[in-house]
Chains A and B, each alone.
Chain A
């Protein structure tokens, strides 16, 4: 592996890295000046398109392409929503950017807004980030004072306001149309698409939703060029005409049973093994790994034998996972029963389902009821088939739900049961020796709720 210089995290170890003074001392806002001093909005769009940047929020959609979906010559307003709802279990890279280097994010956001002709940006941040909230608000204030925000920015004629908007502890607000509904003051029920937000989004106007890390990448691309960005990562698979490649640096979050949990910047395409060994200091307590989540819990599971999986946009899919997701790797050591893992996953999704689509609402809650039963030693082998039946039938991939939360609920079920079936069966037989063959209906156990 060639020596790789962190870029997105280059500033965070500086003293007072969150302040404008520190940011400008390392060339901060030079990119914005370059853009406003002579580039056209289309020029920036083209640059970002040429870089091959794909969204870092989970879906990996090409950013420049998304921007071109906005209607041409729209009279405005066009809105920009920066998605800082970051709630995917295992994920914390946006938090680190916002806490330690908020100006990098804001500079990227201003440039992105200029490129998309947005005059108002809503910075939608999850409630549970009090420090990030303060730092970003302070950074925005500094920008207004310095003339980087507000009317006629740096004499360019371009005007932009950024408003922070605070969530209220609901995972579904991270889904882009759930975010928009929440912003508008309603329950965060994702919208049926199309129309996509680029055509009809916030307040029924064309809207771009991008992730915090995506914005930071935009700033780096403006500074360093599309060629630099494309020199990092994984080129398109020549055998797959629809693969746009996985370019650029990526912030990988590493947590769970690892010696050195943390957020590490590496080229897209690093393998799980490399991440664990070269960055994470190995599995904790000298133990062996049993499995790992490749990109946030929604993405499913890799077995320890699959840790050669490259963490680029195409990698985890080849190993039966949903995708790269947020590139948050959670290591699970050999002592953890897979029943525990799956129970935890089902608990999360049944709590966070917005309840709008019957397959998701009922599927996630019945899955949790079954996992409660299995965990309590009342499981039946039949439950595994029932769980898989739910998993194979909820989500936008089978076409039964409005948003991807249900796919994210399904994948851990599919991967855990299909990749560790022997262990599940053994657990059920051992803990329920008299009843594991039961196929008649059995009663539900009491559930202890959250909040």
Chain B
């Protein structure tokens, strides 16, 4: 692990801007992790150390919170697009499992994996709160609704 600073001045400024919102520094943990994750697409250990320093916490406290959420990757960045294929009941009933298998095959990745070109990370998600559009996929900020295999193909192609 290198000890070069990971948090840029902008990130630090963004994080500290959250301080007045909460009566405790620790409450800024999730906002800070999101700020780092948005930029780096993962939150490496060195960033955890630096966030902890900013929040007057021990790195273990930040790491503890971070690992509770399966959300933040630490070892390597996720793809430029991170897509969740919903597997919960309403989507399951409308073919989510088959859709997920199809997209994995089309993109050439294992569940949870990232394509070799770093374009796409493909994961299961639990109910995305868009069950009227089952089966659905949330890819970064875009919700893909009532996704057919053809639409899924077009989506994977569009990332190339």
Contact = CB atoms under 8 A, between A and B. Distances in A.
Contacts of A166: 30-31, 34
Contacts of B92: 340, 344
Contacts of B125: 128, 169, 450
Closest 8 CB pairs of A and B: A185-B29, A187-B68, A185-B26, A255-B131, A168-B69, A255-B90, A89-B127, A261-B132
A334 B93 CA distance: 12
B32 to A, nearest CB: 9
B24 A185 contact: yes
Interface in B114-135: 123-134
Contacts of A187: 64-65, 68
A92 B78 CA distance: 27
Interface string A74-89: 0001000000001111
A131 B138 CA distance: 11
B124 A450 contact: yes
A344 B89 contact: yes
Interface in A427-451: 448-451
B112 interface: yes
23 contacts: A86-B129, A89-B131, A90-B90, A90-B127, A92-B132, A128-B125, A128-B138, A130-B141, A131-B141, A131-B143, A161-B21, A166-B34, A168-B71, A184-B24, A185-B55, A185-B65, A187-B65, A261-B131, A330-B89, A348-B126, A450-B123, A451-B112, A451-B124
B48 interface: no
Nearest to A161: B21
Contacts of A420: none
A165 B31 CA distance: 7
Contact of B130 (A92, A184, A450): A92
A241 B125 CA distance: 43
Q: Taking each of B71, B89, B123, which has the highest tally of chain A beta carbons within 10 Å of its own beta carbon?
A: B89
A451 B70 contact: yes
B87 A91 contact: no
Interface residues of B, number: 47
A342 to B, nearest CB: 10
B64 to A, nearest CB: 6
A351 B126 contact: yes
B33 to A, nearest CB: 7
B111 interface: yes
Contacts of B69: 168-170
A341 B89 contact: yes
Given A165-B31, A203-B23, A188 B68 contact: yes
Interface string B92-120: 11100000000000000001100000000
Contact of B134 (A129, A261, A451): A261
A297 B89 contact: yes
A86 B125 CA distance: 14
Contacts of B155: none
B28 interface: yes
A332 B93 contact: yes
Interface in B12-71: 21-24, 26-31, 33-34, 55, 61, 64-65, 68-71
A185 B27 contact: yes
Q: Taking each of A253, A255, A328, which has the highest tally of chain B beta carbons within 10 Å of its own beta carbon?
A: A255
Q: Taking each of A128, A131, A333, which has the highest tally of chain B beta carbons within 10 Å of its own beta carbon?
A: A128
Contact of A95 (B33, B94, B126, B129): B129
Given A184-B24, A255-B132, A89 B111 contact: no
A246 interface: no
A126 interface: yes
Interface string B139-150: 011010000000
A90 B131 contact: yes
A185 B132 contact: no
A255 B64 contact: no
Given A170-B68, A185-B28, A186-B65, A92 B93 contact: no
A352 interface: yes
Interface in A52-108: 77, 86-92, 94-95
Contact of B87 (A165, A186, A256, A450): A450
A182 B30 contact: yes
B42 to A, nearest CB: 13
B126 A171 contact: yes
Interface in A301-347: 328, 330, 332-333, 336, 340-341, 344-345, 347
Q: Taking each of B64, B84, B126, which has the highest tally of chain A beta carbons within 10 Å of its own beta carbon?
A: B126
Contact of A163 (B21, B72, B131): B21
A165 B131 contact: no
